A and B are shown apart, each in its own frame.
Chain A
C-alpha cells in the first residue's frame, strides 16, 4: 500500500488507476474522514434499536437457553446416541466457515495488490474475528462439562495431566485460538492509522481510548514502513493458517471412521466451502452495511461485481468437490456409504435439504455468469443469502445424515433438534450482529487511509489530510 504509492507522491501524477472510484476525484480526503468517523459518532435511533434487538436476542435466545442447558444437562438438546453432534457443531463449522473469507480474502487480495479490496477489507476482517468468536462459543456449548473447558489447554498442573496431541480436537483448540489471535492482530494492525485519525477527531473519553489504541501513531515514514512490514508478515502468515484451520476442522470429522465423515476430500472441501460461504457472508454483510451506514460511495457496484466473480468461481469449485464426495461414496459401494448417501439424498426430510443445497450452491450462483446479475444488488442479496443457507445445510447434512447411519443398523436413530438448539442457533446470529454493531460504532469500519490512497493526492479539497 504505502510503498507503491510513494511514487505518486514523488511524481505528483494525477492518475486514477483504480476503477473502484470512477469519479476519480469525486471524494475528498476530508469527506472520507468525516464519512467514516460519522459512522462512529453520529448514530441514529435505528442503530440503537438494532443494537438493543441484537443484545436482547443474544441474551434471550442464547444465554438463557444455554444457562438452562448447563443447569439441566446436555439432555435438553435433541442429541442422542449415536447423533452426538447436531446443530451445535453445524453452527460451529458454519461460523468458522463464515470467518474464512474475511481475513483470508483480505490477506490474499493484499498480497496480490488487488485494489478493490480496500474499502471492504476492514469489515471483512472484523467479520472473521466475530464469527470465530461465535464458533468458539459453540465449542463450549456442545461440551458436556463446559466448566472444565480449560482442561483442553496445556497448562501446568500438579496432577501431571497432559493433553492428547493425537486428537483432532486438540489440533482444533490450537488452530482456532491461533487463528482468532492472528486475525485479531491483523485487524488491529491494519487499523492503527485509522484509529489515530479517529483519535484526532473525537473528544472526551473517546479521545483517551483511541489514543491508547493508536499507540501514539503519528504517521511518520518509519511508522508506515514498520506497519507495512508487520502487515505483510501477517498477511503471508494468515493465508496458510486459514487454510489449515478449516482443514483441521474437517479432520474432526474426517479422522473418524464414520461413513459420510471419513473422507479424504474433506480438507479441501471444507476450505473451499468456508471461503465460499464466507465470501457470500461478506456480500450479504456489505449490502446491509453500505445501506445502513450510507457509504455507497465507498462500497460500489464494482466491488459486488468482483465478489460475484469470486463467488462464481468458488461455486464451481465447491460443486466439483461435492460431486467428488458423492461419487467416491457411491463408487466405494459399501453398504455403509450407500445407506448414508441414500439417507442424505433420497430420504425425507434430508432429501429436501440436500436438493435445496444443490440449488442454492450450484445452480443459483450461475446467475453470476452475467455481469448484470453481479452488479444487481437484489441478485447479490438473493444469491449470497441462498449460498449461506445452502452452506449451513451442507454442514447440517454432513453431521445429521452420517452419524444416524453408522455401521450397526440396530443403533440407527434419527436426530431431531430441540428448541434449545434452534434457539441457540438464532441466538448466535444475534450475537454476531451485536458484535458487528458494536464494531461499527467503536471502530473505523472502512479503512480511511487506504481508501484515500485510491482517491489520489490532488483531490485534497478541504485539506483534511492528517
Chain B
C-alpha cells in the first residue's frame, strides 16, 4: 500500500463506519441553513476533502472507487488503488458518474403521467403518493390473481440489491424478473456454461499473457471489464517479464486493435471459423496440449478450406497458430465481433476450444467461481423477446423498469414500443428521462450510485473473491429515494407475503444484515477481525473485501462442440442490394447509450476518430472513393429494416466491404446533452438474437450506403492524422527492444 493510499484510508477511518447514515442529514441542498457551520457536522471540515471508498456502477465491471467529497459535495471519483479489479485506474465513463449525480436533467421528484403516453406531460407528486399509486396498482394486480403478470426489467443487478428485488418479486408471486442490457455478454456466459460449467465470464489473466489473441474484444474501451484488462495490458506490455504480443482479429479496427501488433481483418461472420481453423492447425501440427479429444471435431475446419471464407491467408492462419501454441502462456478472448451474431455462442465456444487446445484454461483463463454467492445471475430464459411476446399476448399487466433502456437499445424491428403500449401500467425507477422512462405512467426516481447504498460482486472476477461496498458519498441532491428503500417500502405497502419477508427498516440495514450473513458464512472474512462490526467498519473504509487469488481450472467439455457452426454467420439483406456489412459498436464514452447525457463524455473525442457530439459512419477511404464520398458527407445507411443518416468518416482501419457506426447517440429523450443528437444504429438492426442466450445479434445485417439524408455536421478534433515524419510518436522495433532488454541498457 502506498503512503498516499494509506492517508486516504486514515481520512476515511477518521470518519468511521457508516458515514453515509449521517450524510443525509448534513448535506442538505445549499441554502438550507443560513449559518451552516455554526455547529459544524462532524465529518465536514471546510477545505479538507473526505474520501469515501465505494464502487462504480456505470458499467458492470465493478471497479472500486474513492469519492472525494468536500463540504458535502462529490468532487471527483478516482479508482481505488487497493481494489483488485481496477487497481487505481478508472475509465472515462466511471469518472463521469459525478456528472450523472449532478446532472441538470435528472428527474427531481416522483412524476405521474398526465397527458398521453410518451407526451412527456407529467405532474410532480409526493413520494407518499407515488408509492401509494404504485402499491395500489400492484395490489390490484394481486387481488385479481395476476401476480405473475408483473414484470421487472432491470440492468444486470448484483449482490444484495439483486437479492432484495428477487425476494420482493417472488414474495409478490411473480417469476418475471429479468436483467437486460445491450452488452450483457450472455453469449460469452453461455459458452462458458456449456464449456466450463459456470455461466459467467472467467478471469482473463492478461497481465501474464505473452501472446494475446483477441477476437474483436475491445477491452481497452468497453469490453466487459476495461480497466482491469487495461491494467493487465499495461503490465503485459511493460511489466517485469518479457513483452507480450497482441493480435487482434476484427473487421473494424477498434481501440484495442489500434494497439495490437497485428491486425487480422477477417470477414465479418467468419471469426468463429478462423478460431477453429487456428485450433485445428495447432492440433494438426501436434502442438496441442490434449489434441486427441478435439481432432475429430476440429478436422472440419482446415485452414485451407477456411482461409478464403475468412479472407485470411492459409500462411497467416498457420503462423498465428504456431505462435499462439508456442508462446507460453497465450490467451484467446472472444469479444463482440466474434459473438454478435445469431449463432454468437459458436464463436465464444470456438475461442474456448482454442484456449483448451493451447492449454490456457487454468493458466490464463481462470474460471469464475461465485465464492461469495452474490455474483450476477445470468438467466438465459429471460430475454427481451420473451417480454415482448408476453406483452403482445397481454400477459404483462404491470412493468417496472430500472437501469435498462430497452426502447433505445432494441431494434425498431422488435416493435417494443407497440408491445409496451399494450402494457396497462409502466413504472420506472430511473433517475433520468430516458426513452423507456418516457413511456412510463409513474416515475419514482431512484438515487444514483453516489447517493445510495449497495454492494457489488464483480463478474468477471479477478481470480479472487471480491465483494465491493457502495456507500453514499453525498446526501441526495434531489428528492430521490434509494432503490432498495423503494422496494422495502413497496413491500410494506403491498403487504402480504412481501411485507412478511422483507422486514428491514431500510436498505442500509438490509445490506448490513446481508453482509452479516455473508460474514458468518465466510471464514476468510472473519480472519483478523474483531467481530462483525469491526469487519463492517473495515469494509466501509476499504471499499469492500477481497480475498487471496484462487487457482481454478476446468476442461472444456466435448459437449460444447454441439453448438459449433459449419459456416459463416447469417446476415440479413441480400448482398447485391446491401453490399456492406454493418458493425454497430460500443463507443468508449457512450457505451450502449447511457453515457450520452454526460457533457464530459459528449465532448470526449472518440479515441479512433476524434469525433465529438455526434454519430458518424466509418467507411474505408477506398470504398468512399468508389462511392464518390468525401469526409463529412451525409449518407443514408439503409438496412432492410430502416435507415439512418450520419456523416462519413474516412477510416482506413475498416474492411472495404464493411461500415461501422457507433452506438450511443440518436436519443429522442435523455436530457439536453443527448436529445436529438446523431443517429442510433440499433434502429436499423434486425430483431435477431441468439435463441439460446437471448443476446442481441448486433452484427447481423448488411446495409447499403447512399448519399443524402439530413443531420448535423460532423465535428472532429483532429486536424490531420498524418505524422509527416516529424517523429511525434516514436517507436522502436520489437527486435530492437529485445536487444535493449537483453543488454540491459
Contacts and interface: CB of A to CB of B under 8 A. Distances in A.
B719 A410 contact: yes
Contacts of A410: 610, 717-721
Interface in A373-415: 404, 407-413
A412 B724 contact: no
A97 B726 CA distance: 35
A336 interface: yes
B720 A335 contact: no
A411 B724 CA distance: 13
A172 interface: no
A339 interface: yes
Interface string B141-165: 0000000000000000000000000
B728 interface: yes
A426 to B, nearest CB: 29
B723 interface: yes
A412 B726 contact: no
A411 B725 contact: no
A301 B718 CA distance: 56
B722 interface: yes
A409 B725 contact: no
> Chain A, interface size: which category?
10 to 19
Contact of B728 (A404, A408, A413): A408
Nearest to B605: A410
Interface in A104-133: none
The B interface is mostly helix, strand or loop, or mixed, namely loop
Contacts of B725: 335
Contact of A339 (B610, B718, B724): B724
A122 B365 CA distance: 90
B614 to A, nearest CB: 18
Contacts of A412: 719-720
B73 to A, nearest CB: 28
Contacts of A407: 726
A339 B724 CA distance: 9
A336 B725 CA distance: 10
Nearest to A335: B724
B724 to A, nearest CB: 4
A338 to B, nearest CB: 8
Interface in B564-582: none
Nearest to B723: A409
B719 A413 contact: yes
A124 B719 CA distance: 45
Interface in A17-69: none
A322 B372 CA distance: 77
Nearest to B610: A410
Nearest to A414: B719
Nearest to A411: B719
Contacts of A404: 719
A411 B719 CA distance: 5
A336 B728 CA distance: 12
Nearest to A82: B719
Contacts of A409: 719-724, 726, 728
A92 to B, nearest CB: 26
Nearest to B728: A408
A336 B722 CA distance: 12
Nearest to A405: B719
Contacts of A335: 724-726
Contacts of A339: 724
Contacts of B719: 404, 409-413
Interface string B312-337: 00000000000000000000000000
B324 to A, nearest CB: 35
Of B610, B717, B720, most A-chain CB atoms within 10 Å: B720
Contacts of B717: 410
Interface string B707-745: 000000000011111111110100000000000000000
A412 B723 CA distance: 12
A404 B718 CA distance: 12
Interface string B501-545: 000000000000000000000000000000000000000000000
Nearest to B725: A335
Interface string A283-300: 000000000000000000
A412 B717 CA distance: 9
A73 B21 CA distance: 45
Nearest to A408: B728
Contacts of A411: 719
A412 B722 CA distance: 11
Interface string A314-344: 0000000000000000000001100100000
Nearest to B727: A335
Interface in B681-725: 717-725
B372 to A, nearest CB: 46
Which of A409, A411, A412 has the most chain B CB within a 10 Å cutoff? A409
B514 to A, nearest CB: 50
Nearest to A339: B724
A138 to B, nearest CB: 27
A410 B716 CA distance: 10
Interface string A406-431: 01111111000000000000000000
A409 B720 CA distance: 5
Nearest to B719: A412
A407 B726 CA distance: 8
A335 B610 CA distance: 23
A411 B720 CA distance: 7
A408 B723 CA distance: 8
A339 B720 CA distance: 12
Contacts of B726: 335-336, 407-409
Nearest to B717: A410
B373 to A, nearest CB: 49
A452 B723 CA distance: 68
A408 B718 CA distance: 10
A105 to B, nearest CB: 43
A407 B722 CA distance: 12
Nearest to A334: B726
A408 B726 CA distance: 8
A336 B719 CA distance: 14
Interface string B587-621: 00000000000000000000000100000000000
Contacts of B610: 410
B600 to A, nearest CB: 19
B295 to A, nearest CB: 51
Q: Residue among B717, B719, B725 with the most chain A CB within 10 A? A: B719
Contacts of A336: 726
Contacts of B718: 410
Contacts of B720: 409-410, 412
Nearest to A407: B726
Interface in A219-254: none
B236 to A, nearest CB: 27
Contacts of B721: 409-410
A409 B728 CA distance: 9
Nearest to A413: B719
A411 to B, nearest CB: 6
Nearest to A410: B718
A335 B717 CA distance: 21
A411 B725 CA distance: 16
Interface in A333-364: 335-336, 339
Nearest to B720: A409
Contacts of B728: 408-409
B139 to A, nearest CB: 58
A412 B720 CA distance: 6
A341 to B, nearest CB: 13
A39 B552 CA distance: 103
Interface in B609-646: 610
Closest 9 pairs (CB-CB, A-B)? A412-B719, A409-B720, A335-B724, A412-B720, A335-B726, A410-B718, A413-B719, A335-B725, A411-B719
Given A335-B725, A410-B718, 10 more contacts: A339-B724, A404-B719, A407-B726, A409-B719, A409-B720, A409-B723, A410-B720, A412-B719, A412-B720, A413-B719
8 contacts: A404-B719, A408-B726, A409-B721, A410-B718, A410-B721, A411-B719, A412-B719, A412-B720
